[in-house]
Amino acid sequence: MISPAFVMALLFVILLVIHVPVAVAICLSTLAAAAIAMGSLDIAAATIAQRMATGVYSFSLLAIPFFILSGLLMGQGGIARRLTDLATALVGRLPGGLAFVNILSCMLFGAVSGSATAAVSSIGGFIIPEMERKGYRREFATALTITAATTGLLIPPSNIMIVYSLVSGGRVSIVSLFLAGILPGITFGCLLMIAAAILCKRHGYGAAEPQVPGAIWSTFRRAFLSLLLIGIVLGGILKGIFTATEAAAIAVAYSFLLSVVVYREVPWTALPRILLQTGLTTAVVFLLIATSMSMSWVLTLENIPQQISSLMLGLSDNPILILLLINLLLLIVGAFMDMTPAVLIFTPIFWPVVESLGMNPVHFGIMLIANLCIGLCTPPVGTCLFVGCGVGKTSIARVTPAALPFFAALLIALMLVTFVPALTTWLPTLFGLT
C-alpha cells in the first residue's frame, strides 16, 4: 500500500511547484492522504472539513485579527515616522547612523505593530530613499530594511507566537512567549547593527552628523504615546488585568485613538478600506491555520512525528548535532513556506525530538520562530524580500548579494538563541512563567 504521508508530501510539493496557493495545496494534499488512509473519499472529506473547523475554533485566535487591525492603523497613522525620529535622535549622530536608525526603527515599529511586512513597507517607504540620498547604495538600504524588519516578530506582540501557543495545546502560554522573545529580538537587532557598522566603515557610508540639542527629549515626547502600547499590552497581561486576546482588542482601541483622533493621520473615510484589508488578511491567515491543522492531524494519524523523532535520535545522541540539524531543516522550510503553516505543521513533528532532549518548549518556540523569520528574507518565497524589493524599487537578484552579510548576522544570532537558553527563558522565569 502506498504511504499516505508520502502521497501527501509529493502532491504538496507538486502543487507548490505549479504555483497553487499554499492553503489550497495543503488542503488537497491532506485530502488525498486522508482518502488513502481511510479508504473513502467521502469520509476523508467530512473528517478534514471537521478538523479544519475545529482548528480555528479557539478564543486565543481572536487576537490575530485584532493585532492585524492595530498594525494597519499604526502603519498608516504616523507612528512609523515618530519612531524613526526617535531612533534618529538616539543613534543618528554615529558614523553610519542612518543604518542604525533603520534597524532601530524596524525594531520599534515591529514591536508595536507585530508585523514584519508592515515594518518593511512603513519604515522602508521613507528611509530607503533617505539613505540613498545620503550616499548609501539602494540595495544595501533595502537589504538592511528587509532583515531588520524580522526583529518585530520576536519582540512582542507577535501573531506567530499566538499560533505556536495554539499548536502547543496550551502547554506554552502566550505571555511566556511574549517575554521570551524580547532578548532574542534585541540580539538579532544588535548583531545586524554590528554587521551594518562593519559594512558602513568598509564602504564609507554615512558620515557622523551633529546632534541637535534636546532632540532626544523632544522626539521621545512625540513617540511616547506610540511606545506606550508595548507597556499597556505586556503590563496588562502580566498584571492579570486582561488576557492576551483582550490585550489585542485594547491595542486596536488605542491605535485607533492615536491614528484617528490624536495624530489625525488616518481619515475616517479610510477606515472602511482598512477594515476590508484586515478582513482579507485575516481570512488568508485563518484558512492557512485551518488547512495546516488538518495536515498536522493526518501526520499524527500516520505516526510521522514519532518516526522522525526515532530517525533523528538514531542518527546521533549529541544534542548539539540534533539541534543543528533541526535548524538546517527549518531554514530550508522557511525559504519555501509561509510562517503560519510552517509552525502548525512542523511543531508537532519536531516536538518529540526536542522533548527527548529536555529542551524547554518556550525555548523551542522562539528558536522555531527565529528560523522562520530568516526565511522571510530569503528567496524564493520570502514575503519581506518581495515587499522590500517593491518598496525599494529594485530586484531580488540585486538585493540578495547585498543581504548576505546580514544573513550571516542573523545566523549568528540564531545560534545564540539555540545554544544559550537563558536568552529566551530568563525573563519568563523572572516572572514565574516557566
pLDDT in tens, 251-282: 899 989 988 988 888 999 999 999 999 999 88
Domain end point (choices 55, 72, 101): 55
DSSP designation for 422: H
pLDDT in tens, 238-248: 788 888 888 88
Domain residues for the domain of 33 are: 1-55
Count of structural domains, the chain: 2
Residues of the chain scoring pLDDT < 50: none
- 245 lies in the same domain as 394: yes
Residues counted in the chain: 434
pLDDT, residue 212, reads 67
Predicted TM-score of the model (pTM): 0.89
For residue 422, give the nearest of 434, 407, 408 by alpha carbon. 434
Are 367 and 100 in contact, with CB atoms under 8 Å apart? no
- How far is residue 9 from each of residues 12, 272, 348, measured CA to CA in Å? 5, 40, 16
Residue 94 cell numbers, joined: 554615529
Spatial separation of the C-alpha atoms in residues 401 and 379, rounded to whole Å: 11
- Residue 80's H or E segment, with its range, is helix 79-91
Residue keyed to cell 540578495: 400
pLDDT, residue 271, reads 93
- 40 lies in the same domain as 112: no
pLDDT, residue 268, reads 92
Residue 348 cell numbers, joined: 508537532
- 170 lies in the same domain as 279: yes
Spatial separation of the C-alpha atoms in residues 363 and 378, rounded to whole Å: 24
- 265 lies in the same domain as 411: yes
Are 192 and 406 in contact, with CB atoms under 8 Å apart? yes
Q: Cβ of 239: how many Cβ atoms within 10 Å?
A: 8
- 190 lies in the same domain as 288: yes
pLDDT, residue 434, reads 65
Spatial separation of the C-alpha atoms in residues 306 and 304, rounded to whole Å: 5
- How far is residue 84 from each of residues 99, 107, 122, 292, measured CA to CA in Å? 11, 10, 10, 37
Are 339 and 372 in contact, with CB atoms under 8 Å apart? yes
pLDDT, residue 273, reads 94
Domain end point (choices 14, 31, 55): 55
Domain end point (choices 55, 73, 101): 55
pLDDT, residue 296, reads 86
- 254 lies in the same domain as 391: yes
pLDDT in tens, 115-173: 788 788 878 888 898 888 888 899 999 999 999 998 888 988 888 999 999 888 778 99
Spatial separation of the C-alpha atoms in residues 220 and 232, rounded to whole Å: 17
pLDDT, residue 361, reads 94
For residue 111, give the nearest of 60, 153, 69, 173 by alpha carbon. 153
| DSSP letter for each residue of 265-297 | -S-GGGHHHHHHHHHHHHHHHHHHHHHHHHHHH
- Write the CB contacts of 7 (distance below 8 Å, at least 6 apart in sequence): 29, 32, 33, 36
- 151 lies in the same domain as 38: no
- How far is residue 4 from each of residues 9, 33, 329, measured CA to CA in Å? 9, 4, 22
Residue keyed to cell 533595502: 142
- 35 lies in the same domain as 74: no
Q: Cβ of 5: how many Cβ atoms within 10 Å?
A: 18
Cα dihedral 52, 53, 54, 56 sign: positive
- 67 lies in the same domain as 139: yes
Give the amino acid at 67. F
For residue 112, give the nearest of 49, 158, 148 by alpha carbon. 158
- How far is residue 124 from each of residues 3, 138, 147, 372, measured CA to CA in Å? 47, 11, 11, 21
Phi, psi (degrees; rounded to nearest 5) at 321: -65, -40
- 188 lies in the same domain as 223: yes
- 46 lies in the same domain as 78: no
- 24 lies in the same domain as 104: no
